[in-house]
Amino acid sequence: MDGSALVARGLTRDFRGFRAVDGVDLDVAAGAVHALVGPNGAGKTTLFNLLTGFLAPTAGRIELGGRDITGLAPERVARLGMARSFQIASLFPQQTVRAHVELALQGSTNLGWSFWRSEKPLRRFRAHAEELLDRVGLAAAADDTAGSLAYGRKRALELAIALALDPRVLLLDEPTAGMGVEDVERTVELIAAVRDGRTVVLVEHNMSVVGALADRVTVLQAGRVLAEGPYDEVRADERVIEAYLGSADAAH
């Protein structure tokens, strides 16, 4: 694959008159890790929701692998090869860790997301689910309930669920948020391992994580692209330094 895996042109989203994402152009090269950074409220999560079909844009256009996906539902976007990490809120506290990944694997087949079905058909996903859990370091926790996992391990489970969809383009929204140093290091290694053969778009506040992983960085501020380029260039950009001044993020 060469060229752009994901392109946005003039992407805009209003919330009752408030423009959260404002004419964003984005070019994510195939095979790249592309970081999206910016102060809180810059519009990063809204942009993710637009790209993955969870929100409809007010204006603009999105292409995935050269195909117009503007306005498609999240399931369609996922089937076309782009998925985002699920949020912790979407985990089922009483369900086992393994069942989450089995359900995600089932969801990626044409059986669909039938959570209420009998557990029997899920068994054929067991080996694959365990392989994915092993990958994110959760093999030993397979029989635990999702609700019993510590915070960092819940994030690892989210990543396993996203990987179950085997997306060509993987979107990760703050995968290291709230993690201790060890979990951060582990997550960086994990993303470095799973990027192989994929394109990764990453919202990340921790600049050492961005520096370790990202080929390119787009800086958003107040819904607009403030700067875009290789990490070292963007980091040295006066406007970027100013946007971060006084914010805790600058310390990373």
**List of residues contacting ligand ADP (CB under 6 A):** 15, 18, 20, 38, 40-46
Chain position whose Cβ is nearest to Mg ion: 45
Residues numbered 129 to 158 that lie near Mg ion (CB under 5 A) are none
Tokens 């929100």 found at: 55
CA angle in degrees (0–180, nearest 5) for 187-193-198: 110
Binding characters for Mg ion, 81-100, by CB under 5 A (x = yes): --------------------
**Among 221, 238, 247, 252, residue whose Cα is nearest residue 37:** 221
CB of 110 to ligand ADP, least distance (A): 31
Q: Are 46 and 52 in contact (CB under 8 A)?
A: no
**Which lies closer to Mg ion via its Cβ, residue 45 or residue 199?**
45
Contacts 24+ apart (CB under 8 A), 147-151: 147/91, 147/93, 147/94, 149/97, 151/178, 151/179
**Among 123, 93, 91, 125, residue whose Cα is nearest residue 109:** 125
CB of 37 to ligand ADP, least distance (A): 9
**Which lies closer to ligand ADP via its Cβ, residue 160 or residue 203?**
203
**Which lies closer to ligand ADP via its Cβ, residue 45 or residue 199?**
45
Contact of residue 206 among Mg ion, ligand ADP, none (CB under 5-8 Å per partner type): none
Tell me which of 4, 45, 176, 221 binds Mg ion, using CB under 5 A: 45
CB of 247 to ligand ADP, least distance (A): 12
Pair of tokens at residue 148 = 């019993």
**Which lies closer to ligand ADP via its Cβ, residue 40 or residue 87?**
40
**Which lies closer to ligand ADP via its Cβ, residue 174 or residue 183?**
174
Contact of residue 138 among ligand ADP, Mg ion, none (CB under 5-8 Å per partner type): none
Burial of 224 (0-12, 13-18, 19+ CB in 10 A): middle
d(CA 44, CA 61) in angstroms, rounded, equals 17
**Which lies closer to Mg ion via its Cβ, residue 115 or residue 151?**
151
Q: Are 215 and 29 in contact (CB under 8 A)?
A: yes
Contact of residue 46 among Mg ion, ligand ADP, none (CB under 5-8 Å per partner type): ligand ADP
Chain residues binding Mg ion by CB under 5 A are 44-45
